[in-house]
Amino acid sequence: MQRTFVMVKPDGVGRGLTGTVIARLERRGLRLVGMKLLQIPPELAAKHYAAHQAKPFYPGLIRFITSGPVVAMVWEGDDAISQVRTMMGPTDPGKAPPGTIRGDFALTIDCNVIHGSDGPDAAASEIALYFSAAELVSVPRPEESWIYPQTSR
């Protein structure tokens, strides 16, 4: 099972989309193993977006992500990173197909509802920024036998 970090951004929380995002990920078959509501302080935002520090959009990115509460989550499942990235759609909602989270709910590239890790290294780093190992709980659900049948393992 692979783990990935997902965040409902301030615009998603403010618009009441957190439950919708969670429901979509659960229906896909992913397992929620950690979740918290928080207001990201500027220091944590700087660590999270350190890779973008030299880019011209960095100050706006920090302003936005610290502008309101977010819901930080860890999800797990087979190929969880790719599964979440597909469900999110492209960063630019104008290019996101209907049926994706951004395609259905986002209108601008700046306020695009959701963040998800883009690879295993980013997932490990982002999970560690927001969660301790003790805050993550992985409990299999009974219906997972229909999602991951024994014949495929």
Q: In the CATH scheme, what is the code of domain 2-136?
A: 3.30.70.141
pTM of structure = 0.92
CA distance 21 to 34: 15
Active-site residue list: 115
Q: Running DSSP on this structure, what letter comes out for residue 3? A: E
Q: How far is CA 115 from CA 100, 106, 122, 151, in A?
A: 13, 12, 12, 33
96-150 per-position pLDDT tens digit: 999 999 999 999 999 999 999 999 999 999 999 999 999 999 888 777 777 777 6
Sequence-distant (6+) residues with CB within 8 A of 106 are 11, 93, 96, 112, 113, 114
36-55 per-position pLDDT tens digit: 999 999 999 999 999 999 99
Where exactly are the structural domains of the chain? 2-136
